Amino acid sequence: MPTEPLIRNTRTAQKARAHEEFTLLDPSGNSTPAIPPASPAPMSSAQPSSAHNDPVDNEAEASSLAKAINNLVKSNSSSAKPKLREPDPFDGSDPKKLRTFILQCKLNFRDRKDLFGDDETKVNYALSYLKGAALDCFEPALLDPIDPAWLSEFDLFIEELETNFGSFDPEGEAEAELEQLRMQENHQATKYFIKFQQLAARVKWGDAALRRQAYNGLAKRIKNDMVHHHKPNSLQGLRVLAQLIDSRYWERRAEISRENGTSGSSGNKSEHQSDSSKSDSKSGKGSSHSKQKNNSGSKGSTSDQKKPDPDLSSKLGKDGKLTPQERQRRLDNNLCLFCGTSGHVAKDCPKSSSASSKARASKTEQDKSASSGSDSKKD
């Protein structure tokens, strides 16, 4: 072709110009011939072909790198999630705790779906939180070389748990509790409806029956306030209305408590002052009364002191007892052997305060009756 010699000549001329000498001026002004640096040698065509990048290999490496990054991001995101509470160990002693145990297990399954991808993992997780009689029930089947069917199906495992450790009649028990559920006057409506919804989920009642039962169990104060509102036609409407009335009730209770606390503090001061004045007046009256009593008592004592003591020398002997003549005189005249008056005997004498003296007088009366009895026999 005519263009090939032209291209070849052009390349030869370019190489020749590249090798031409050129001069440089040194600081003294002398010219110095210089040769430009040689161009690098072209790469040999005999270089191995493995040095070239293969598009297929690059795509595979990029795909594996993307997968590794994705797994790393997933692991970081899962570690950043809040950890749920582990299930409480179940020992089979309380059937009511079985529902809570199953609920806690299912919450962990939903939170970590990547870890519980199959039923067998779920069953093993639940088995690890069994203890006591509940674990002993599954021990023979776990040690058997042939795996039971419930080991690979979580629903069958739950059925096995409920058969052995659940309530005998869960629906009947829920109905009985639902009929007996009552909201106390000092309870809150929210707590009442939480318990009511738990039991309602276990029975097969309609909305009308549940609404009626929920109304029957409400506190009287809420029922009385409902007359000022439209009657709800659903269980949800009844719950909203009851909670609204209940919240307003407790709000008003708090207001009254604050009002009584403010007025009660000042009222307590005035009451305390009045009580103190009353107590002072009472104490004054009591002291004056006691003074009067003391004065009267002192007067009485002085008057008693002024009375002359009776002469008992003729009636008592040297031993301090009645003389035989005085004693016989009192017996004959039915006089008291202690004070000498009539109308009573010595054991009932009001002036006698000594038990020993009364005992002696009683003995004397007995001796008197005995002597009179012997005299009648002689006659």
Task: Based on the fold, state whether residues 251 and 175 are members of the same structural domain.
Answer: yes
Q: Does the residue 111 lie in any domain?
A: yes
- 318 pLDDT higher than 70: no
Q: Which amino acid is located at 211 in the chain?
A: R
**How far is it, in rounded angstroms, from Cα 101 to Cα 126?**
9
Q: Does the residue 314 lie in any domain?
A: no
Confidence of residue 261 (pLDDT cuts 50, 70, 90): confident
Task: Based on the fold, state whether residues 154 and 197 are members of the same structural domain.
Answer: no
**How far is it, in rounded angstroms, from Cα 217 to Cα 225?**
15
Which of 258, 282, 308 is the C-terminal boundary of a domain? 258
Going by C-beta distance under 8 Å and a sequence separation of 6 or more, which residues neighbour residue 345?
336, 337, 361, 365
Question: What does the pLDDT average to over 291-305?
Answer: 48
Residue 244: both structure tokens together: 């609204």
Q: Does the residue 286 lie in any domain?
A: no
**How far is it, in rounded angstroms, from Cα 328 to Cα 326?**
5
44-64 tens-digit pLDDT: 444 444 445 566 667 777 888
Q: Does the residue 285 lie in any domain?
A: no
Task: Based on the fold, state whether residues 148 and 199 are members of the same structural domain.
Answer: no
195 or 329, higher pLDDT: 195
**How far is it, in rounded angstroms, from Cα 197 to Cα 243?**
14
Q: Does the residue 227 lie in any domain?
A: yes
Q: Does the residue 162 lie in any domain?
A: yes
Kindly state the helix (H) or strand (E) to which residue 44 belongs, with its residue range. none
Task: Based on the fold, state whether residues 198 and 236 are members of the same structural domain.
Answer: yes
**How far is it, in rounded angstroms, from Cα 327 to Cα 338?**
10
**How high is the pLDDT of residue 333?**
82
1-43 tens-digit pLDDT: 454 554 555 555 555 554 444 444 455 555 555 455 555 555 5
**How far is it, in rounded angstroms, from Cα 132 to Cα 145?**
23
Q: Does the residue 48 lie in any domain?
A: no
Q: Which of 150, 168, 151 is nearest to 159 (CA)?
A: 150
Task: Based on the fold, state whether residues 154 and 195 are members of the same structural domain.
Answer: no
Task: Based on the fold, state whether residues 141 and 180 are members of the same structural domain.
Answer: no
Number of domains observed in the structure of the chain = 3
Question: Taking all residues of the chain, what is their mean pLDDT, rounded to a whole number?
Answer: 74
**How high is the pLDDT of residue 303?**
44
- 96-111 and 154-165 are packed helices; what angle lies between their axes, rounded to 10 degrees? 160
Which of 146, 166, 186 is the C-terminal boundary of a domain? 166
**How high is the pLDDT of residue 112?**
87
Helices (H) and strands (E) in the chain, counts: 13, 2
211-230 tens-digit pLDDT: 999 999 999 999 999 999 99
* Alpha carbons within 13 A on the beta-carbon side of 312: 14
Task: Based on the fold, state whether residues 329 and 351 are members of the same structural domain.
Answer: yes
Structural domain boundaries enclosing 339: 324-370
Q: Does the residue 360 lie in any domain?
A: yes
Which of 150, 166, 182 is the C-terminal boundary of a domain? 166
Task: Based on the fold, state whether residues 204 and 248 are members of the same structural domain.
Answer: yes
pTM of structure: 0.42
Confidence of residue 299 (pLDDT cuts 50, 70, 90): very low
| Cβ-contact 275, 282 below 8 angstroms | no
